[in-house]
Amino acid sequence: MNVRCGTAHLSSLRHFHLQGSMLTTDFTPIAALSGGTLIGLATVALMAFHGRIAGMTGILTGLLPPISADWGWRASFIGGAIAGPMLLTLAFGHDVTFASPIPDLWLVIGGLIVGVGVYFGSGCTSGHGVCGLARLSPRSIVATLIFMGTTAATVFVVRHLIGGL
Amino acid sequence: MLRIVTAAAIGITFGIGIAISGMANPAKVLNFFDIAGTWDASLGLVMASALAVAAIGYRFVLKRPRPVFETRFHLPANRALDVPLVAGSAIFGIGWGITGFCPGGAIPALGLGEPSAWIFVGAMLAGIAAARTVRFALQQRATQNT
């Protein structure tokens, strides 16, 4: 099994440990709550200033051909979302733990599946799971319940029935 | 110009939030869903706190007559609980469960310089583009037939 792990600084392995083919991760409540708060603030700010749902699927789709006329703020938001973690690790020296236990072939297959799913489902974790639930949108409540369910089911099948990819 | 700078600042905030929270880390995401195995509850707190802030913030923001840079709020008009919504969401979950990457987690992960994030995002964009082409073709055929 192809296990790749590392931090952006390659300096610390303290947050995860290899146990056979399973990767355990530490429960990080403070990081989770502070990161989640920032995600929420960005969501509110995009609505307050641009009147837009902070959904990664919708924002990205407008940047693919036929490119939408309002591509400026979209490209700018995406650029910022990529630059944010770069700033965090390179400028502020913050360690961001990262580990992807999935072989490349499955990343490609899974990526295609995610792309098709979020396009027809009109959204993903950010658009439905945060913005939509915050508005109590019935579509988003249904979508979130379904994708959380199929994700958990897939992880169960992959890890406990197949025994890993 | 101001709206471009503002959008970038909001994107940076979003990206830093995702990176700090652990949503950009596939191992952590997969463990959140692995209740029967190496469970890590962190992501529940990420979604709960993001949702709480968004729900409170939206209450104030959406009461205003309009956003700062636009003439109106662009909220989804479709209210139907239809087949594409249900099937698409189910399909998305399968891909998320295989990879541990969702779109909002994978884009900031690009900024960590992780090759797996680039491979995933390339495939995901191809998937979105393919699905869009199929939908446009189906719509065109439907309008030609009527």
pLDDT in tens, A44-92: 999 999 999 999 999 999 999 999 999 999 999 999 999 999 999 998 8
- A121 phi and psi angles, rounded to 5 deg: -80, 0
Reply yes or no on whether the pLDDT at A22 is more than 60.
no
> What does the pLDDT read at residue A8?
45
- A6 phi and psi angles, rounded to 5 deg: 165, 170
What mean pLDDT comes out for the span A25-32?
Answer: 96
Place of tokens 């880390």: B25
| Structural domain of A100 | 4-162
Reply yes or no on whether the pLDDT at A11 is more than 80.
no
Exposed / middle / buried, residue A46 (Cβ in 10 Å: 0-12, 13-18, 19+): buried
CA distance B129 to chain A (A): 7
Report chain B's mean pLDDT, rounded to a whole number.
96
Structure tokens at A143: 């979508």
Distance CA A143, CA B76 (A): 14
Instruction: Pick the more confident residue, A3 or A94.
Output: A94
- Smallest Cβ–Cβ distance between B11 and the set A44, A76, A156 belongs to A76
CA distance B146 to chain A (A): 23
Long-range contacts of A91-96 (CB under 8 A, 24+ apart): A93/A9, A94/B20, A95/A7, A95/A8, A95/A9, A95/A11, A95/A12, A96/A7, A96/A8, A96/B19, A96/B20, A96/B24, A96/B25, A96/B112
> What does the pLDDT read at residue A71?
96
> What does the pLDDT read at residue A165?
87
Q: Give chain B's radius of gyration (CA, Å).
A: 18
B76–A114 C-beta distance less than 8 A: no
Distance CA B140, CA A163 (A): 44
CA of A40: which chain B residue's CA is closest? B50
> What does the pLDDT read at residue A129?
96
What mean pLDDT comes out for the span A118-143?
Answer: 97
- B74 phi and psi angles, rounded to 5 deg: -95, 85
3-state secondary structure of A15: coil
**A49 to each of B10, B17, B101, how far by Cα in Å?**
10, 19, 28
Give the residue from B58, B27, B61, B60 showing the smallest Cα distance to B42.
B27
**B96 to each of A67, B106, B120, B141, how far by Cα in Å?**
26, 11, 11, 32
Are the CB atoms for B3 and A52 separated by under 8 Å?
Answer: no
Q: How many independent structural domains does chain A possess?
A: 1
Among B34, B60, B89, the strongest candidate for a mutation testing the A interface, having the largest count of A CBs within 10 A, is: B89
A151 touches chain B (CB under 8 A): yes
**A72 to each of A93, B37, B50, B98, how far by Cα in Å?**
30, 44, 25, 33
> What does the pLDDT read at residue A25?
94
Are the CB atoms for A111 and B95 separated by under 8 Å?
Answer: yes
For a pLDDT cut of 70, what percent of chain B falls above it? 99
Distance CA A80, CA A49 (A): 16
B128–A41 C-beta distance less than 8 A: no
Report chain A's mean pLDDT, rounded to a whole number.
89
> What does the pLDDT read at residue A20?
39
User: What are the residues whose beta carbons fall under 8 Å from the beta carbon of B115, sequence distance 6 or more?
Assistant: A4
> What does the pLDDT read at residue B123?
98
Low-confidence ranges of chain B (pLDDT < 50): none
CA of B22: which chain A residue's CA is closest? A32
